[in-house]
Chains A and B, each alone.
Chain A
Amino acid sequence: MVAEPARLTDAPALEEETSAPTLRLRVDRVTHQFGPNLVLDDVTLEIAPGEVLALVGPSGCGKSTLLNILGGLLLPTKGGVLIHGEPRPDCLNALTYVFQDFALLPWRTVAGNISLVLEDKLRDEKARRERISEMLRLTGLENFAHAYPKQLSGGMRQRVGIARALAVRPACLFMDEPLSALDAQTRALLLEEFALLIARAAITTVYVTHNLNEAVRLANRVVVLSRRPGRIKAIVDIDRPAELRREDDPELLVAEKTLWSMIRDEASAADRELEDAR
């Protein structure tokens, strides 16, 4: 039950990929406090339609908090997120998440978990079944439609997570460390698939990670947050087209080094501050 599927380079593309994404997000002077702790301090950020943006920074810098604020799962203490434009007409849920812990219902099968997010809006059962099998094909899960999450490996579970997210034809995809619960080998495999799926679907993506390699492999733009309270420290553009990016791409390695040099000081300072706080 836990075999990994073959690489998905020849998986079918999402339908209607021609219509360009138009939804624009703007993080406007967002400040957030958890109790006495200032987590995000006056963050302003423009997210262009169709771009893949990675959010990196030392632990506790508020990157996950910012992601939750982006999709309306958390109300910031000050400021807000402004949304501009209309999602495509077939979009069922404009702002859609992929979760670190997968967040699958253990009592539903793979197909049932995807069905869950369609049942309210895609009323026609035939259309729903077609959408589900399209997503299963896309993520290489055809043979696992009737498996329960417990029977799947972590990598397969996160494939269900992404299949579920893409099933609603989102305008924006928010991914909160989607690979960090997986082992290194599965992570490497899934990273390639994600890169492909995201590029194909041309969905605006915000990807939170502490893994700089993931950031440079996936993103057009990497936003570096400072240690708590999180502020935007730098924005690094990565122009290399997605289909040319390889694991050992020297240009990407350089970008990764640059990012690490920016984060290292922040990370070690953050580490010491946590120590002091104890």
Chain B
Amino acid sequence: MRDETLVPLRAASFSPRNRPWAGAATLAVVIIIWQAGSSAGLISELFLPSPVAVGWALWRLALSGDLWANLLASFVRLAVGWTLGTAVGVALGFAVGMFTLVRSPVLALVSALFPIPKIALVPLFIIWFGIGEGSKFATLAIGVLFPTVISTYSGIDNVQRNLIAMGQSFNLSTWSIVRKIVLPGALPSVLAGFRITISVAIILLVAAEMIGADSGIGAFILSAGNLYRTDDLIAGVVILSLMGLSLAAILTRVERAVFSWR
């Protein structure tokens, strides 16, 4: 008499999968519960305005033009500050990755300055660069600079040495090796850094606008809070979230285009 059993699969799990619809459904469920709570009178409109009220606030702001004026002011700060910090950061990170003379000095500075919360420096930047746009640009640029330096030089450090040796063995010029091997090899890490610095920039943008500005989403949220207009306040927060999401989506597109070879 045979007594056979099936060998059970033991190598299952530990491999979560992406299900985009489940993500969207989760957001929808949260919003529905929130709306239901408000409609049933369980949540006070002042304490937490309902999704519908936030939607109306957004609509009103869009019609009056307040939304676009503030959004434009914020977007210009974000674009200028982030680009400035990224340009200097990539250049410094490249130098750290390439030159012994630069490496230790710049890394020492980065290690010392990176942990400082940049928000603490905003009052100082206002004294240095004025209460106007200068201090906002500086806050964002400095905040973006350090993570960019780190992601760039670690990208260069992680370029496979055998590829560089290959280039050297074929007598490629230094410039060719940098342009055709080192930079493309470092690009994934640089772009991964962008993902982080865009979020950092949005956080700093709002903080800087709350400390000293009369335009921009941060200033708008602060004044809405001061006036207990919580529907406007949440509307501003929703805009920030959408801003971050769309920038991340753009970056994903760029990555797909650049890394089509993967």
Contact B166 A97 (CB under 8 A): yes
Q: CB-defined interface of B145-185 with A at 8 Å, one 1/0 digit per residue?
A: 00000000000000000110111111111001000110010
**Interface residue? B19 (CB, 8 A):** no
What's the A-B contact tally at a CB cutoff of 8 Å? 46
B176 touches A120 (CB 8 A): yes
Residues of B183-216 contacting chain A, CB below 8 A: 184
| CB of A103 within 8 Å of the partner chain | yes
The CA of A105 and the CA of B261, in the complex, are separated in Å by 10
Q: In the bound complex, how far is the Cα of B167 from the Cα of A120, in angstroms?
A: 11
Query: Is A120 in contact with B173, judged by CB distance below 8 angstroms?
Result: yes
Show the binding face of A for B, using Cβ within 8 Å.
Answer: 71, 73, 93, 95-97, 99, 101, 103, 105-108, 116-117, 119-120, 148, 150, 164, 168
Number of interface residues of B (CB under 8 A): 18
B170 partner, pick from A93, A107, A108, beta carbons under 8 A: A93
Q: When the two chains form their complex, are residues B162 and A103 in contact, meaning their CB atoms are under 8 A apart?
A: yes
Report B51 CB to chain A, min CB distance, Å.
45
Show the binding face of B for A, using Cβ within 8 Å: 162-163, 165-173, 176, 180-181, 184, 259, 261-262
Shortest CB–CB separation between residue B230 and chain A, in angstroms? 50
- Give min CB distance, A173 to chain B, whole Å: 11
Which 8 pairs of residues, A with B, have the shortest CB-CB distance? A103-B166, A117-B170, A148-B261, A97-B169, A107-B261, A103-B162, A93-B171, A107-B184
Q: Which residues from chain B contact A73 at a C-beta distance below 8 Å?
A: 165, 168-169
Q: Are B163 and A105 in contact (CB under 8 A)?
A: yes
Please, how many angstroms separate the alpha-carbon atoms of A164 and B165 in the complex? 15
Looking at A93, A96, A117, the one whose CB has the most chain B CB atoms below 10 A away is: A117
A168 surroundings in chain B (CB, below 8 A): 170
Instruction: Given A106-B261, A107-B261, verify A71-B169 contact (CB < 8 Å).
Output: yes
- Given the complex, which residues of A lie within 8 Å of B180, measured CB to CB? 105, 116, 119
* B161 nearest CB across to chain A (Å): 10
Q: Are B169's CB and A120's CB within 8 A?
A: no
Shortest beta-carbon distance from B7 to chain A in Å: 28
Q: With A71-B169, A96-B170 as known contacts, state yes or no: A101 contacts B162, CB within 8 Å.
A: yes
Whole-angstrom distance between the Cβ of B222 and the nearest chain A Cβ:
46
Interface contact A99-B170, CB-CB below 8 Å: no
Q: Please measure, in the bound complex, the distance between the C-alpha atom of A161 and the C-alpha atom of B176, giving whole angstroms.
A: 19
Inter-chain contacts of A101 with B (CB < 8 A): 162
Closest to B160 in A: A103
Least distance between B257 CB and chain A CB atoms (Å): 12
One of A95, A120, A150 near B172 (C-beta < 8 A):
A120
20 A-B contacts (beta carbon < 8 Å): A71-B169, A73-B169, A93-B170, A95-B169, A96-B169, A97-B166, A97-B169, A99-B166, A106-B261, A106-B262, A107-B259, A108-B261, A116-B170, A117-B170, A117-B172, A120-B172, A120-B173, A150-B261, A150-B262, A168-B170
Q: How far is the CA of A96 from the CA of B171 in the complex (A)?
A: 9
Question: Quick one: closest B residue to A113, CB to CB?
Answer: B166
In the complex, how many angstroms separate the beta carbon of A74 from the nearest chain B beta carbon? 10
Contacts A103-B162, A105-B180 aside, 13 further interface pairs with beta carbons under 8 A come to A71-B169, A73-B168, A93-B169, A93-B170, A97-B169, A99-B162, A101-B162, A103-B163, A107-B261, A108-B261, A117-B172, A119-B176, A164-B170
